[in-house]
Structure 1
């Protein structure tokens, strides 16, 4: 029997793995889980709404995970606003918020990590060595504490979604991974906590990321199946914006993320990373025959 939390009193706040595990034992039944690094936006809240719609219990975690940030990346300056986040989650009616500290997640002497091999060797894994080792490790630790029935991830972090699905499959975890559509600003920019870093001029230019994807998708819909032509269509759009620096554009097998060459004859993931100053924005679109 599921014991529901009392939404009128706000979510239960759990700050250690042991406390989260005790709460879960006291609240059996189907549970939807949304892992986040906080600084919540409407994209996160869309995941929360879906978790609430599909599960009698729901938990959101807030943890800025140090092990997925490399040297010189933005761990220290990653945006944080815990009180605002908790207010949003209270309004959303979540049952519990898991707020562990780095010291509780990685106590002194910590030395165990999860590595998903082939899927992490390219794209973001190549650009950010060690990133997905940190992601897979923290997500497994969160899963172990929360014991969700379903976990909700956005499609914007496309490689992350595939890495987590592979980890769940390979380690026989009894968890359904639920992918959720990208939530965008009215001008097409994918919602991201890092958008706050953009200057006004960079923010005005940033929708070109989506326009590049749409241009390639339009070529796909018109029958273009040459992989390099599709990549070049996206590159051409990005090159028209002086503030945008293309880091990479990829057209890869939708499942393995192996880069495609020649004729695209299978579902594909078109993804790109564009820098605006020090800020990296990533976005993607799935190309499938039904789009034609």
Structure 2
């Protein structure tokens, strides 16, 4: 099996993008932090539907981790990642060293507001500045026609869409649906941290989300439903950061059923922090 070409520098990736465009191909970028799973691979397949040349970036971004978070322990397996991407026929993989993204003397950050305010920012105030800066760099480095991000990280997707519009970055941003395990748990690289018992307990997160949406759809008071969902997660052993109903585009708080609403959750089980979200609109597969 012939694997994708690996680029460690922006210059090499740009050269590949220029060649693809000269051949008349559209270019798609799928930014990741590696430790790839089926959720990531679904984004790569979606990218293929929009472009003839697909590049996946693999970079564990240090600026979105606080000193107390799991940067050093974050799962990394580049050999396995490259095998998976080769199986999907990916043309290129951008795997830069940290000094390529943040060279000596680097002194610029992208500051974001709007959908970045609240939720994740309440407990991780550093997070979206780090995400916005690295994604801006990736988009400007490759200038793809389209970039694909997962809806599991829904607030992140909203933030990226906002700053791409605000900064006039000429890239179409698309979201890929959350891919779930059989019990509904959203696929995540951090699920590897969960032991057997914790993995069973983790399924409570999508259960609470799904039940909360069913009750809100049925006309129950959202604040009561969410308070009871929070209590249920807490009783299950989670430390809950938030369980909230928000506007699907702006992420402003809403207090009633809306076609534009989503319920978002972040909760820690032991040392593993799980995030998820579901829409009030139910798709055919039953999970939102």
TM over 0.5: yes
2:238 alignment partner in structure 1: 244
CA contact (8 A) 2:147 2:171 kept: yes
CA contact (8 A) 2:264 2:277 kept: yes
Instruction: Specify which of 194, 204, 208 is matched with residue 208 of structure 1.
Output: 204
Q: Which deviations, in whole Å up to 9, do the C-alpha atoms of 1:21-74 show, x marking residues without a partner?
A: 121112213111110000000000000111112211111000000001012100
Instruction: Specify which of 224, 248, 254 is matched with residue 254 of structure 1.
Output: 248
1:98 alignment partner in structure 2: 94
CA contact (8 A) 1:58 1:94 kept: yes
**CA offset at residue 254 of structure 1?**
1.9
**CA offset at residue 245 of structure 1?**
2.4
DSSP 3-state at the match of 2:54: strand
2:72 alignment partner in structure 1: 76
- Residues 29-44 of structure 1 aligned to structure 2 (within 5 Å): 29-44=25-40
Structure 1 pair 273/82, CA: closer, same or farther in 2 (3 Å)?
same
Please give the TM-score of this superposition, normalised by the length of structure 1.
0.91
| Structure 1 segments of 4+ aligned residues over 3 angstroms from their partners | 263-266, 288-291
Q: Which deviations, in whole Å up to 9, do the C-alpha atoms of 1:232-291 show, x marking residues without a partner?
A: 2422432442x3222221112222222224x44562121111111011000111225999
Instruction: Specify which of 269, 275, 285 is matched with residue 282 of structure 1.
Output: 275
1:127 alignment partner in structure 2: 123
Instruction: Give the unaligned 5+ runs of structure 1.
Output: 1-7
Q: Does 1:25 align with 2:26?
A: no
CA contact (8 A) 1:37 1:65 kept: yes
DSSP 3-state at the match of 2:49: helix
Structure 1 pair 42/266, CA: closer, same or farther in 2 (3 Å)?
closer
Distance 2:232 2:207 in 1: 7
* Root mean square deviation of aligned Cα: 1.7
